[in-house]
Amino acid sequence: MTVKTRFAPSPTGYLHIGGARTALYSWLHARKFGGTFLLRIEDTDRERSTQASVDAILEGMNWLGLDYDEGPIYQTDRFERYKEVIQQLIDQGDAYYCYCTHEELDEMREQQRANKEKPRYDGRCRERTEPREGVEPVVRFRNPTEGEVVIDDLIKGKIVIANKELDDLIIARSDGAPTYNLTVVVDDLDMGMTHVVRGDDHINNTPRQINIMTALGAEPPKYAHAPMILGDDGKRLSKRHGAVSVMQYRDDGFLPQALINYLIRLGWSHGDQEIFSLEEMIEFFKVEDVNGAASTFNSEKLLWLNQQYIKEMPIEELMEHLQWHLDNQKLDISNGPDFAAVINAQRDRAKTLVDLVSSSRYFYEDFEEYAEAAAKKQFKTATPDIMQAVHDELETLPDWQPEAIDKAIKVTCEKLELKLNKVGPPLRVAVTGTAMSPSLDITLYLVGKERTLERLLKAIAFNRAKYA
RNA sequence: GUCCCCAUCGUCUAGUGGUUAGGACACCGCCCUUUCACGGCGGUAACCGGGGUUCGAGUCCCCGUGGGGACGCCA
């Protein structure tokens, strides 16, 4: 049987890190076996579902490169089918109308809590034959009261839940709209899912869903419940922990490959390997190897991975990702050195794409001020004379090439009888405005002769004024 | 509260009865170095507790403890 998996988010927000990871696992499982990956939008809660959320989720999937073969399928387009199944369950006696009011249910739960019991529907409408006037009924599934449900979870192993722990869940609201546990069952069956990979917050729903499938005479798919991702306070990852939207990571300068790589290694491993190409992920990933324990999100490691990818990625590909940040930071690279050359010089020292762009600004634009700490540390009384000497030496260069620039700087040092560390650092601040840059010869070469000389004169004037 | 899941360095993990308990991030040294990085070398650091089973337990079982999840006319 061909493998078929799905990702089934409810469009009530953006695609978050946890969802992205289960989507990745599900996608990987399908890709590994040459199967089908389907995207289903679980929008039966019309109150909370929005088109904006659907768009955000699609954007996130697209950015991560998680492509789907079928869908997006919207559950709201399938209400007729759900109604058919609900009717079938009623007809065969596996579901019934319940006329309990919210007040009655609240009271019942309160009572149960007071008795230190698990709040659950007590089945009081199970044998009711007459409607209750003025109450639009819901439909409940008649869950078995005895026996147990066994899940052979691919990640968690064998899970056994007694039917007496379960109650008769609502499968249709009083307005006739189907609920989650019914729609999931119908869709997973109709769409031929072979494997359901989802968050382990759904473990408790699984026995209910299996019971409905059994009532429908169907064979349940295989389940793989992936653990949650926790924030650094040990609590489930949420907005409190900073960036949780996948797109926020794009905005913050992360490469999708780095995020994917981080996500796959969070809760899964292949020996000591840390960095995986997509091909390797598909080859090595086994859903059975996913760790059953929840793991804590660690942004330091993500940053490290991002740096590795920035460093190693083919330059053309890196440039494509950089374009968005160029636009976002409004850096115009038309008036200056070849951007690829700048990036090649800079990429070893950047942890994010945002850094990479912002730290490359001085190659294209003149700066108004020197970085305060750098100027304070490097600009001394002798600076104007030193800068003047460097300027004069550089000015004579017929050939503005790194080797020649390097030589000119060293010649200046000899003339002034100064060590390189007395000349280099202030020179860097004068030309870049900051204390960090690639090596000076490359930096000056890329900044260009005209700009370099101008900036040196500017630094001389600045320091003369300062020490006058 | 009830049910379910989980438990190796601070974090992500390797480990499938016999290991000096390995790797990665972070951290700390040293080296490289005109800056910041990259890189290289080295270091600190872990089997939640208690009972079993066994010649032998991080590994198997039980009980605690701790953490997470679920308990909706949400998904």
**pLDDT-wise least confident of A15-24, A131-140, A168-177, A348-357:** A131-140
A299 CB less than 7 Å from any atom of strand B = no
- DSSP calls for A306-375: HHHHHHHS-HHHHHHHHHHHHHHTT---SSSS-HHHHHHHHGGG-SSHHHHHHTTGGGTS--SS--HHHH
Strand pairing class (A70-74; A95-98):
unpaired
- pLDDT given for residue A23 in this prediction: 97
- Mind listing the pLDDT tens digit for each residue in A270-280? 999 999 999 99
Provide, in whole angstroms, the distance separating residue A225's CA from nucleotide B64's C1'. Answer: 27
- pLDDT given for residue A243 in this prediction: 63
Q: How many CB atoms lie within 10 A of CB A301?
A: 13
The rounded distance, in Å, linking the Cα atoms of A151 and A161 is: 8
A435 CB less than 7 Å from any atom of strand B = yes
Strand pairing class (A148-153; A138-141):
unpaired
User: Higher confidence at residue A103 or residue A376?
Assistant: A103
A344 CB less than 7 Å from any atom of strand B = no
Angle at A39 between CA A275 and CA A88, to 5 degrees: 140
Residues 62-121 of A with CB under 7 A from strand B: 100-102, 105, 109, 113, 116-120
- pLDDT given for residue A423 in this prediction: 87
User: Higher confidence at residue A241 or residue A91?
Assistant: A91
The rounded distance, in Å, linking the Cα atoms of A253 and A357 is: 9
Task: Give the pLDDT band (50/70/90) at residue A351.
Answer: very high
Provide, in whole angstroms, the distance separating residue A227's CA from nucleotide B7's C1'. Answer: 13
Angle at A401 between CA A395 and CA A405, to 5 degrees: 55
- Mind listing the pLDDT tens digit for each residue in A427-460? 999 999 999 999 999 999 999 999 999 999 998 8
A239 is a catalytic site residue = yes
- Local structure of A102: helix, strand or coil: helix
- pLDDT given for residue A147 in this prediction: 92
A188 CB less than 7 Å from any atom of strand B = no
The rounded distance, in Å, linking the Cα atoms of A16 and A441 is: 44
- pLDDT given for residue A232 in this prediction: 81
Q: Give the tokens for residue A237.
A: 């990852």
Provide, in whole angstroms, the distance separating residue A323's CA from nucleotide B65's C1'. Answer: 53
- pLDDT given for residue A454 in this prediction: 93
Residues 262-281 of A with CB under 7 A from strand B: 265-269, 271-272, 274
CA A336, A338, A342, A343 torsion-angle sign: positive
| Closest to A13 measured CA to CA, from A43, A50, A68 | A50
A359 CB less than 7 Å from any atom of strand B = no
Give phi and psi for A226, each to the nearest 5: -85, 140
Q: Which nucleotides of B are covered by protein (CB under 7 A)?
A: 1-8, 10-14, 22-26, 34-39, 67-75
Provide, in whole angstroms, the distance separating residue A435's CA from nucleotide B36's C1'. Answer: 7
- DSSP calls for A369-388: S--HHHHHHH--TTHHHHHH
What is the ipTM score, two decimals?
0.95
Q: Which nucleotide is nearest to A297 (CA to C1')?
A: B11
Q: Which nucleotide is nearest to A435 (CA to C1')?
A: B35
Write the DSSP symbol of residue A55: H
**pLDDT-wise least confident of A157-171, A276-290, A380-394:** A380-394
Instruction: Work out the burial of residue A154: count CB atoms within 10 Å of its CB; fewer than 13 is exposed, 13-18 middle, 19 or more buried.
Output: buried
Q: What is the reported pTM?
A: 0.94
Instruction: Work out the burial of residue A468: count CB atoms within 10 Å of its CB; fewer than 13 is exposed, 13-18 middle, 19 or more buried.
Output: exposed
- pLDDT given for residue A242 in this prediction: 67
CA A360, A361, A364, A367 torsion-angle sign: negative
- Mind listing the pLDDT tens digit for each residue in A100-144? 999 999 999 999 998 888 999 998 999 887 888 888 999 999 999
Task: Give the pLDDT band (50/70/90) at residue A288.
Answer: very high
Contact of A224 with A290, CB cutoff 8 Å: yes
- pLDDT given for residue A233 in this prediction: 82
Q: What is the mean pLDDT of residues A59-64?
A: 97
Q: What is the mean pLDDT of residues A181-196?
A: 97
| Closest to A322 measured CA to CA, from A339, A345, A305, A301 | A339
Contact of A452 with A431, CB cutoff 8 Å: yes
Provide, in whole angstroms, the distance separating residue A317's CA from nucleotide B62's C1'. Answer: 56
Residue environment code for A31-61, b if the CB has 16+ CB neighbours within 10 A, otherwise e = bbbebbbbbbbbbbbeeebeeebbebbbebb
Provide, in whole angstroms, the distance separating residue A178's CA from nucleotide B50's C1'. Answer: 50
Task: Give the pLDDT band (50/70/90) at residue A148.
Answer: very high
Residue whose CA is minimally distant from B4 C1': A204
CA A115, A116, A117, A122 torsion-angle sign: positive
